[in-house]
Amino acid sequence: MNLNLFCVRVVGCVSLAFAAFAESVVLRYESAPSPNGPWTPVDSAVMHHLPDGAASVHSASTQAYFRLRIESDVEGQALQVLPLAEVPAATLEVARRHVEGLLRPADSADDDDVDGWADAEFGPFAILLSREGAPSGAPGYLELKLVSATSGERPQEGYLRQLSNEPTSVDRGYIIVSLDRSDLPVLEYNTEGPTPVERLLRRCGGKTPARIVRFGPTFWAAEDARGGLIANLGTEPFKIPHDFASVMEARFAGEIDTAREILELPPELKLQLSSYASYGELKEDYESSPVHRLLRERRAAHAGLQWDIEAGKVPPILELRVGETNLFLGGRVLEDVVVHWEGLRELADVRLLRSGFEAVGRQAGSAPLTVRTSQGLEAYVLRVSARGAGLASVELASGEPFWRTKTWWAGGWGDQMHYYQLKDSDWCELVGCGPTAVAMLLGYWDRRGVPSAFYTGIVGSAEFDSLRLSDAPQEIDTANRKAVLRKVYHQLHDLCDVICPPFTDSGATWPGDLIEGFAGYLHPVSSSSGMASLLYGKGNRLVNYSCSWAWDGWGDDWQVSGVRVANGIKDGRPGIIGLGWLWHYGVAYGYRRKEYVVPYPGGETVIQVKRYFRVNEGWSDFKPSWYNAHDVFLGLTANMTQARTPQMP
């Protein structure tokens, strides 16, 4: 067959990949029967160059993959790139359905975030990404870039029609999609700006990577052909002790409420985070660590259920009436049961029994239900019919299934604190992502009528003004604002017990220490015995606040961690989340729920849900992205009010 090849002339959609290279390079075409190789050079004699700069080649195979091999004076290697036409059909269809689901008019009419995709299309290339822990850097994901749609109009002669004041950027974000069932179908996405690979390649200093490895939502690495590190992006992972596997089933949750005198703090774990001495040690640990093996197994179980839906498989439906009590899955021993329902009232009260589970219908509706057994995870649907109504039958579906999107916001990007980590020799040198996330949340409340929530000290007139005035900077753009934020960072760095490793300039914070640091910073102003309350509140607290927090070892327990922050966002309050596996903290201010709906004569049935958080990562060169809620290991949401105006003692 005759196949068109991509060429350098159309590199605009991946311009970052080559424009950043300062070295002289040689580009060679290679072909392979699969994305994993083996790759062989394309004979230049069989290539035919077309007038527009593209090229075609005759191939006897019914399917073939092509790439450009980039050879430098130092070492020959090539970034794994696929033409869009060669992307596996199932993977591309998942991405298309995701975009189309966001653009449904009834669901996104009030959602400005998706406007960037209203006139977008997939770029001509996809970048193959290696999966962490996979041997030999085998591809596990695809990064699909979205760009402004082209008009399709081409003049017969002369220049392409365009206006001189048209924006030069065609970037409309990206989608990261899994290539197989080992991970969730759509892991993260953004509706604006360049892609993570583009950002990473700008850090490669003129070197050409052979592969890009995605270790998770907040750490990417560019490797050379030998697997060495060229550049990395995001927050470097810390080494989780292998005996952490013994507590991975534990879930920690609590509440803090000054009005009700409740102070529940996390227990101290007798475990220590440490750092990796090298990139090679990190890779070896991710492949062999019992902790990461268990995490991958648990994640793959969740992913399999979502891929079943993508393939059109409908889970068994469990029927129940309002007010009725039923026993389900009797005769089976269950470890856990979760109803994926969100609302002020429960869909049903569910209780595990020695054999199966019991459910009491509370209101009409439907939701996915997952159960965990010793053999793994299973998917069902719990459907509750109104009292007196007949139970629906699985065979009575009356319409085509569709994805429905619902989005909630706790303000827009313009309402958030745009902080990032500052450097200081007293820190790591960076202050740490934990203190940065806490500072962003405190600054948010400072600018919303709680000036004593963000303070720089408690002694002297300058510090008193800090308690009384809304002085949290939104941007870090002047020396004065840096000075104000530096004082807050200094306190939070100590209160969060940030761990400074010897091989990097970043710091790690245990989830429990972050929660204690948040409460410890607010204690002087929120407790009647706090120094600021004693001096400036006459023994009365200056700030009232309530806080709900949770964290877990798996990072996929929606009902423990993520749901707290989602409910806070629904009430207009951003919250702190942990992303990855004890890696990174950011502030979530958007929550998106995608429902897979099947129409029935008696109403709709929700078969599956996917959840995403819009996260302010606290990175100076990033615009916030949407991350899958299964990547969340910590959730902290709070509500604050100014109890009284500080007075001079």
Domain covering 412-642: architecture: Alpha-Beta Complex (3.90)
Q: Residue 158: phi, psi to the nearest 5?
A: 85, -165
d(CA 601, CA 584): 46
pLDDT of residue 21: 35
d(CA 4, CA 58): 9
> Would you tell me how many other CB atoms lie within 10 Å of the CB of residue 89?
7
d(CA 186, CA 192): 17
Look up the pTM and report it.
0.84
- Burial of residue 168 (CB within 10 Å: 0-12, 13-18, 19+) is exposed
* Beta-strand relationship, 229-234 and 219-223: antiparallel
Q: What is the 3-state secondary structure (H, E, C) of 5-36?
A: ECCHHHHHHHHHHHHCCCCCEEEEEEEECCCC
Q: Which tokens is 400 given?
A: 């085509």
CA-CA-CA-CA torsion for 62, 67, 71, 72, nearest 10 degrees?
Answer: 180
Q: Which tokens is 201 given?
A: 């390649």
d(CA 41, CA 29): 6
Q: Would you call the peptide bond into 38 cis, given omega within 30 degrees of 0 as the criterion?
A: yes
pLDDT of residue 33: 83
Q: Which residues contact 139 (CB under 8 A, 6 or more apart)?
A: 35, 36, 80, 128, 129, 130, 131, 179
Task: Tell me how far CA of residue 406 lies from CA of 257, 567, 592, in angstroms.
Answer: 30, 13, 6
Q: Residue 426: phi, psi to the nearest 5?
A: -80, -10
> Would you tell me how many other CB atoms lie within 10 Å of the CB of residue 461?
8
Q: Which tokens is 47 given?
A: 């290539």
Asked if 568 and 272 count as a contact pair (C-beta separation under 8 A), the reply is no
Asked if 631 and 613 count as a contact pair (C-beta separation under 8 A), the reply is no
pLDDT (tens digit per residue) in 163-192:
555 555 678 899 999 999 999 999 999 988
Asked if 617 and 624 count as a contact pair (C-beta separation under 8 A), the reply is yes
Closest CA to 510 of 639, 633, 426: 633
Sign of CA pseudo-dihedral 85, 89, 95, 98: positive
Asked if 348 and 307 count as a contact pair (C-beta separation under 8 A), the reply is no
- Burial of residue 25 (CB within 10 Å: 0-12, 13-18, 19+) is middle
- Burial of residue 14 (CB within 10 Å: 0-12, 13-18, 19+) is buried
Assign residue 376 a region (left: φ > 0; alpha: ψ between -120 and 50; beta: otherwise): left
* Helices 279-288 & 290-310 angle (0-180, nearest 10): 70
d(CA 46, CA 40): 14
Q: Domain map of the chain by residue range?
A: 2-78, 86-151+168-234, 313-400, 412-642
* Number of residues that this document lists for the chain: 649
Closest CA to 126 of 179, 183, 76, 69: 179
Counts for the chain of helices (H) and strands (E), in that order: 12, 31
d(CA 454, CA 441): 9
Q: Which tokens is 131 given?
A: 């999966």
Task: Tell me how far CA of residue 270 lies from CA of 47, 403, 510, in angstroms.
Answer: 64, 45, 11
Q: Which residues of the chain have pLDDT under 70?
A: 1-27, 45, 49-54, 69-77, 104-112, 115-116, 135-137, 151-169, 388-398, 459-461, 502-505, 555-557
pLDDT of residue 140: 92
pLDDT of residue 167: 57
Q: What is the 3-state secondary structure (H, E, C) of 138-194?
A: CEEEEEEEEEECCCCCCCCCCCCCCCCCCCCCCEEEEEEEECCCCCCCEEEEECCEC
| The domain made up of 313-400 is a member of CATH 2.60.40.1380 | yes
